[in-house]
C-alpha cells in the first residue's frame, strides 16, 4: 500500500489523469441516476402508479369481478403480476364521531318514525364516514399527488392487504376529536358497508345489540392538505371523514352471520347469498402487456355470466416529457458506462506500457507477478476511491442546488403537455402536488435518502464492476511481461 501511495505522489500527472477519468465516470453516473429518479418521481405525480395495468370490467365497462375471484386469478395466472383494487362505501363506526355531526342533516325516513318525536323532519346522518378499501394506498390520487400526508404510522400497503391485517388509517382531525391514537381499536358496523342508508339505519336501530361489529386497529394517521368542508353536501364527502382499510378484510365482514340472517334479503324475504365484494375499480398488472388478449380469452373460457373485458389503463405516459427524458438519460448512462470503461481501460493499459520497464524490473528482482499486479491495481483503487468520495460531495452540492430547479422544470414541462393534450389525468392535479414536492425537496434528509444514497450505491456498484474488469486487464498484462527483455537482457 505504501509503495502504491509513493507511486501516486511520484507520478502526479498520470495519477491525476486516472483520477479525472474515474471522477468523470462516477459523477456522471451519480448525476444520471439522480436525474432519472427525479424524472420518475415527477412522472408519478402526473400519471400515478397504475401505468402498465389493465381495467377489469364487464363489456359495459361496469365493475363485475369480485375481489376474491381477482385474487385467485392473480395467484394462478403467470401473466398477472399483481392486482390493485379500490372500493368506497359510506359507513358508520360505533365509537367514532364523524366531523360535522349535528351540522349536516338529512330528511327523515318514514321507517324511522317510531324512533323520533312526531313532526321531526331533519335528522343526523347515520353513515358519516367514507370507507375506502384498497389493496394499497399508493394507487390513490390523493396519495401520489401529495394531497394526503402521513403524520403518524404508515399507509395501507400491499403487505397489509396480503396479510388481511385489520389496520385502519384515519385523519388527524378525527383522531383528535375522538381522542384516538395509534394502536387504539375502533368498531365498524358491518350493516353500513353492505346496505343502503335506510336499511342500515333500520337494521342498526333494530338489531345493534345482538351482533358484534368488526374491529380495526389504528395503524396510521394522516393530514389532508385540502379543506373541502364548505363544499361538502354530506359528512362522508368531507376529506377528513375518509378512512382507509385493506380490501382483503371485507370478505370477513360480508360473512357476518347476523348480517346474512337479518340484513340481506330479497323482495320475497329470502336471505341472499354471501354478499360479493366487488371493487369499484379493479386492475391487473401484466407481466407482459402483449398477453392481454390471451388472458381475456382464457378468463372468459371459465364461463362467467358476463364477458370479462380487459382494457389497458391509458394515461398517455408515453407522451410524458419526464418519461422521455428518463429514457434518454438511461441510454446515456449505459453509453457513459461503456465508453467510460473503454477510456479507463485504455488509460490503465497506456500507463502500464509507459511503466513497462519499472514493472519488468520488479518481476526480474524476484517480485511475484501477482504482487506486482496487486500493487499497480492498488494505485488505481486508491485513485478511484478518492474520485468516488469527491463525486459524493459534489453530488450533495448538486442535489441541494439543482434538485428543486430540475423538478420545477419537469413539472412545468408535464403541465404544459397536459394542457396541450387535455388528458383526464390533468384533473387529478392541483397545487398540493407541487407544494408537497417543494416542501420535500427542501428537506436534505429526504434528498439524501431518496436521491443521493441510491445514486451513490449505483455508482459504487459500477465502480466495483469496472475495477474487476480492470484488474483482469492488469493481471493479464503483467503475467505476460518478459522480465529479462524488459531490463535489456535475453530470455
pLDDT range class, residue 169, cuts 50, 70, 90: very high
Note the residue count of the chain: 491
CA 189 to chain centre: 32
Q: Tens digit of pLDDT for each residue in 107-153?
A: 877 666 556 677 677 888 888 899 999 999 988 888 876 788 899 99
pLDDT range class, residue 200, cuts 50, 70, 90: low
Of the candidates 260, 281, 302, which is a domain's last residue?
281
CA distance 57 to 281: 9
Q: Is residue 313 part of a domain?
A: no
| pLDDT the model gives residue 264 | 58
pLDDT range class, residue 421, cuts 50, 70, 90: very low
pLDDT range class, residue 446, cuts 50, 70, 90: confident
Q: Tens digit of pLDDT for each residue in 264-292?
A: 565 565 655 667 789 999 999 998 888 99
CA of 54: how far to CAs of 28, 72, 102, 196, 296, in Å?
A: 37, 17, 43, 30, 11
Which residue range(s) make up the domain with 139?
81-281
| Whether residue 111 sits in one domain with residue 41 | no
Higher pLDDT, 347 or 434: 347
| Whether residue 261 sits in one domain with residue 143 | yes
pLDDT range class, residue 387, cuts 50, 70, 90: very high
Mean pLDDT of 243-261: 85
Q: Residue with C-alpha cell 323482495? A: 267
Computed on alpha carbons and rounded to an integer, the radius of gyration of the chain in Å comes to 32
Buried/exposed code over 183-216 (b: 16+ C-beta within 10 A; e: otherwise) = ebebebbbbbbbbebebbbbbbeeeeeebebbeb
Q: Is residue 427 part of a domain?
A: yes
CA of 365: how far to CAs of 203, 292, 353, 373, in Å?
A: 97, 69, 19, 15
| pLDDT the model gives residue 479 | 82
| pLDDT the model gives residue 361 | 80
Of the candidates 232, 260, 281, which is a domain's last residue?
281
Of the candidates 229, 253, 281, which is a domain's last residue?
281
CA distance 242 to 99: 10
CA triplet 366, 372, 373: central angle to 5 degrees? 145
In sequence order, the 6+-apart residues with CB closer than 8 A to the CB of 416 are none
| pLDDT the model gives residue 428 | 40
| pLDDT the model gives residue 426 | 40
CA distance 348 to 355: 10
| Whether residue 257 sits in one domain with residue 117 | yes
pLDDT range class, residue 475, cuts 50, 70, 90: confident
C-beta of residue 236 within 8 angstroms of C-beta of residue 90: yes
The three state secondary structure string of the chain is CHHHHHHHHHCHHHHHHHHHHHHHHHHHHHHHHHHHHHHHHHHHHHHCCCCCEEEEEECCCCCCCCHHHHHHHHHHCCCEEEEEEEEEEEECECCCCCCCCCCCEEECCHHHHHHCCCCCCEEECCCCEEEEEECCHHHCHHHHCCCEEEEEECCCCHHHHHHCCCEEEEEHHHHHHHCCCCCCEEEECHHHHHCCHHHHHHHHHHHHHHCCCEEEEEEEEEEECCCCCCCCCCHHHCHHHEEEEEHHHHHHHHCCHHHHHHHCECCCCCECCCCCCCCCEEEEEECCHHHHHHHHHHHHCCCCCCCEEEEECCCCHHHCHHHHHHHHHHHHHHHHHHHHHHHHHHHHHHHHHHCHHHHHHHHHCCCCHHHHHHHHHHHHHHHHHHHHHHHHHHHHHHHHHHHHHHHHHHHHHHHHHHHHHCCHHHHHCCHHHHHHHHHHHCCHHHHHHHHHHHHHHHHHHHHHHHHHHHHHHHHHHHHCCCHHHHCCCCC
CA distance 58 to 306: 6
| Whether residue 457 sits in one domain with residue 372 | yes
Q: Is residue 322 part of a domain?
A: yes
| Whether residue 379 sits in one domain with residue 454 | yes
318, pLDDT greater than 60: no
All three cell numbers of 192: 353500513
Beta pairing partners, 218: 168
332, pLDDT greater than 60: yes
**Number of separate domains in the chain:** 2
| Whether residue 383 sits in one domain with residue 325 | yes
| Whether residue 262 sits in one domain with residue 163 | yes
Higher pLDDT, 201 or 487: 201
| Whether residue 92 sits in one domain with residue 214 | yes
| Whether residue 239 sits in one domain with residue 130 | yes
Q: What is the mean pLDDT of the chain?
A: 82
In sequence order, the 6+-apart residues with CB closer than 8 A to the CB of 288 are 79
| Whether residue 151 sits in one domain with residue 20 | no
CA-based nearest residue to 321, from 250, 409, 240:
409
| pLDDT the model gives residue 242 | 96
41-55, 143-157, 316-330, 431-445: range with lowest mean pLDDT: 431-445
In sequence order, the 6+-apart residues with CB closer than 8 A to the CB of 123 are 105, 106, 108, 112, 116
| Whether residue 213 sits in one domain with residue 361 | no
Mean pLDDT of 240-256: 91
> What is the pTM (predicted TM-score) of this model?
0.62
Q: Is residue 289 part of a domain?
A: no
Paired sense of beta strands 281-286 and 185-188, if any: unpaired
144-153, 294-303, 424-433: range with lowest mean pLDDT: 424-433
CA of 200: how far to CAs of 203, 259, 262, in Å?
A: 5, 10, 11
| pLDDT the model gives residue 425 | 40
Mean pLDDT of 215-220: 96
CA distance 4 to 355: 13
| Whether residue 335 sits in one domain with residue 275 | no
199, pLDDT greater than 80: no
Higher pLDDT, 137 or 360: 137
Amino acid at each position: 500500500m505504501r509503495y502504491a501511495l509513493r507511486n501516486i505522489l511520484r507520478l502526479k500527472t498520470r495519477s491525476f489523469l486516472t483520477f479525472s477519468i474515474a471522477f468523470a465516470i462516477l459523477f456522471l453516473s451519480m448525476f444520471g441516476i439522480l436525474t432519472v429518479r427525479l424524472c420518475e418521481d415527477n412522472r408519478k405525480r402526473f400519471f400515478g402508479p397504475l401505468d402498465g395495468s389493465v381495467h377489469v370490467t364487464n363489456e359495459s365497462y361496469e365493475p363485475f369481478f369480485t375481489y376474491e375471484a381477482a385474487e385467485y386469478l392473480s395467484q394462478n395466472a403467470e401473466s398477472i403480476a399483481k392486482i390493485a383494487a379500490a372500493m368506497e362505501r359510506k359507513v358508520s363506526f360505533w365509537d367514532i364521531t364523524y366531523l360535522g355531526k349535528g351540522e349536516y342533516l338529512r330528511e327523515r325516513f318514514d321507517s324511522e318514525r317510531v324512533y323520533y318525536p312526531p313532526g321531526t323532519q331533519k335528522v343526523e346522518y347515520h353513515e358519516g364516514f367514507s370507507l375506502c378499501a384498497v389493496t394499497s394506498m399508493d394507487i390513490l390520487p390523493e396519495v401520489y399527488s401529495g394531497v394526503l400526508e402521513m403524520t403518524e404510522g404508515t399507509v395501507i400497503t400491499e403487505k397489509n392487504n396480503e396479510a388481511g391485517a385489520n389496520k385502519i388509517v384515519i385523519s388527524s382531525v378525527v383522531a383528535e376529536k375522538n381522542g384516538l391514537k395509534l394502536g387504539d381499536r375502533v368498531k365498524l358496523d358491518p350493516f353500513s358497508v353492505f346496505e343502503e342508508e335506510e336499511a342500515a339505519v333500520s337494521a342498526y336501530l333494530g338489531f345493534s345489540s345482538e351482533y358484534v361489529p368488526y374491529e380495526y386497529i389504528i395503524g396510521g394517521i394522516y393530514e389532508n392538505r385540502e379543506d373541502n368542508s364548505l363544499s361538502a353536501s354530506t359528512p362522508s364527502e368531507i376529506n377528513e371523514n375518509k378512512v382507509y382499510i385493506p380490501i382483503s378484510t371485507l370478505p370477513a365482514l360480508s360473512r357476518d352471520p347476523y348480517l346474512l340472517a337479518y340484513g340481506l334479503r330479497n323482495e320475497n324475504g329470502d336471505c341472499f347469498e354471501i354478499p360479493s365484494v366487488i371493487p369499484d375499480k379493479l386492475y391487473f398488472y401484466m407481466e407482459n402487456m402483449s398477453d392481454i388478449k390471451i388472458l381475456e380469452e382464457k378468463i372468459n373460457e371459465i364461463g362467467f355470466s358476463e364477458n370479462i373485458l380487459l382494457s389497458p389503463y391509458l394515461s398517455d405516459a408515453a407522451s410524458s416529457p419526464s418519461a422521455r427524458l428518463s429514457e434518454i438519460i438511461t441510454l446515456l448512462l449505459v453509453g457513459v458506462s461503456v465508453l467510460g470503461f473503454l477510456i479507463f481501460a485504455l488509460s490503465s493499459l497506456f500507463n502500464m506500457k509507459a511503466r513497462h520497464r519499472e514493472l519488468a524490473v520488479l518481476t526480474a528482482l524476484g517480485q511475484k507477478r501477482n504482487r506486482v499486479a496487486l500493487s499497480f491495481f492498488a494505485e488505481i483503487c486508491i485513485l478511484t476511491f478518492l474520485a468516488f468520495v469527491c463525486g459524493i460531495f459534489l453530488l450533495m452540492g448538486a442535489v441541494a442546488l439543482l434538485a428543486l430547479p430540475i423538478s420545477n422544470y419537469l413539472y412545468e414541462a408535464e403541465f404544459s403537455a397536459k394542457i396541450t393534450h387535455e388528458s383526464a389525468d390533468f384533473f387529478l392535479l392541483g397545487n398540493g402536488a407541487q407544494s408537497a414536492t417543494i416542501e420535500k425537496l427542501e428537506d436534505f434528509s429526504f434528498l439524501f435518502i431518496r436521491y443521493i444514497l441510491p445514486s451513490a450505491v449505483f455508482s459504487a456498484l459500477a465502480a466495483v464492476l469496472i475495477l474487476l474488469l480492470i484488474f483482469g486487464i492488469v493481471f493479464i498484462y503483467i503475467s505476460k511481461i518478459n522480465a529479462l527483455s524488459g531490463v535489456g537482457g535475453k530470455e
